[in-house]
């Protein structure tokens, strides 16, 4: 099996040049934002209770949403990758729907399901909308496809031989899945979880519609940044800069840790 360092096939320089353009396309807005940030105010901002509240809500809800997505998305990805049923196509399309929905529409859809008069919500006791639980659900709804599709793709490409060998040696399907299949797709699991977490963290439309945007309980960082933009663009810049810096650190730190561990083990 070729490892990543075996790169005799480097892309030709025009490809690298276009790739550089792609990097610039993404990097320049971020760099622009960071240069506009009044860095001297960052110290004041990070001690403000409004900001800390929004940070806390964002951190807790995005992680909770990722856990929900992974918990119910992994079985779904396994099913999608291994079933021969003809409903796979429609179901995969259904799972992807929240990616194409405008987020505010996704919020309205959450009302239709979980709201006071929603299909399920009307039978529930406590209210789900306008609570942190509602924020988690809205974030999970939009983040689900990112995890499911990533993991399903990895599972579909997987070499079945090791899992089959484990089965012939007497392992149950569950044991083979947990101890053979899952470790071999760990990079995809991490990538999918990170994508889902990033999507959940950045979610705006569904959370402001279904979550309620109340500071301290349902106002996340993106909502705080958007509202700060109404009154004080500098403050919005600062919030965005902190959000970018934190996300960047997590995204870089987490991936290299896990993928390095995987490569080292093999």
Partner 1 sequence: MSIAFTVGVHECTPAASARLVIGVVGWTAPRCASEQHGQWATIVSNLARMTRTGDRFRTTVAAVIAAAIGLAGCSGSESPDDAGPIRVSAAASLTRAFEQIGDEFEKTHDAEVVFSFNGSNVLATQMIEGAPVDVFASADTESMQTVVDAGVVLTPETFATNRLAIMVQPGNPNDVETLDDLSGLDVALCAAEVPCGRYAKRVLAAADVELVPVSLDANVNGVATKVQLQEVDAGLVYSTNIADAGQLAEGVEIADEFNVVAEYPIATVGESPSDAAVEFVEFVMSETGQQILAESGFGPP
Which residues lie near partner 1 (CB under 8 A)? 108, 111, 115-117, 127, 129-130, 208-209, 212-215, 219, 226-231, 233
Residue 107 CB, nearest approach to partner 1 (Å): 10
Residue 164 — left, alpha, or beta (φ > 0 → left; ψ -120 to 50 → alpha)?
alpha
Nearer to partner 1, 89 or 253 (CB): 89
Nearer to partner 1, 163 or 228 (CB): 228
Block residue for tokens 């899952």? 182
Q: Residue 174's CB: how many other CB atoms inside 10 A?
A: 8
Check: CB of residue 120 under 8 Å from CB of residue 114. Answer: yes
Residue 247 CB, nearest approach to partner 1 (Å): 22
Residue 39 CB, nearest approach to partner 1 (Å): 22
Residue 209 — left, alpha, or beta (φ > 0 → left; ψ -120 to 50 → alpha)?
alpha
CA distance 94 to 68: 18
CA distance 197 to 90: 25
Residue 240 CB, nearest approach to partner 1 (Å): 14
Residue 129 CB, nearest approach to partner 1 (Å): 6
Nearer to partner 1, 116 or 179 (CB): 116
Nearer to partner 1, 127 or 173 (CB): 127
Check: CB of residue 122 under 8 Å from CB of residue 50. Answer: no
Nearer to partner 1, 75 or 102 (CB): 102
Structural tokens at position 96: 């992807």
């Amino acid at each position: 099996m070729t490892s990543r360092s075996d790169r005799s096939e480097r892309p030709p320089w025009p490809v690298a040049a276009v790739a550089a353009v792609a990097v610039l396309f993404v990097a320049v807005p971020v760099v622009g934002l960071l240069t506009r940030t009044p860095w001297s105010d960052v110290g004041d901002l990070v001690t403000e209770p409004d900001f800390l509240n929004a940070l806390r809500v964002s951190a807790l809800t995005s992680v909770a949403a990722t856990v929900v997505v992974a918990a119910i998305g992994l079985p779904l990805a396994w099913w999608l990758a291994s079933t021969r049923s003809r409903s796979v196509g429609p179901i995969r399309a259904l799972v992807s729907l929240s990616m194409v929905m405008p987020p505010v529409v996704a919020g309205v859809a959450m009302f239709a399901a979980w709201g006071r008069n929603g299909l399920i919500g009307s039978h529930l006791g406590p209210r789900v909308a306008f609570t942190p639980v509602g924020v988690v659900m809205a974030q999970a709804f939009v983040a689900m496809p990112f995890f499911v599709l990533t993991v399903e793709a990895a599972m579909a490409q997987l070499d079945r031989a090791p899992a089959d060998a484990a089965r012939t040696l007497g392992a149950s399907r569950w044991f083979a899945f947990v101890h053979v299949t899952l470790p071999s797709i760990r990079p995809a699991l991490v990538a999918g979880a990170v994508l889902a977490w990033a999507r959940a963290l950045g979610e705006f439309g569904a959370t402001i519609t279904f979550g309620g945007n109340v500071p301290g309980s349902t106002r996340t960082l993106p909502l705080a940044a958007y509202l700060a933009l109404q009154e004080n663009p500098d403050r919005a810049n600062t919030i965005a800069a902190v959000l970018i810096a934190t996300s960047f650190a997590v995204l870089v730190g987490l991936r290299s840790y896990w993928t390095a561990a995987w490569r080292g083990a093999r």
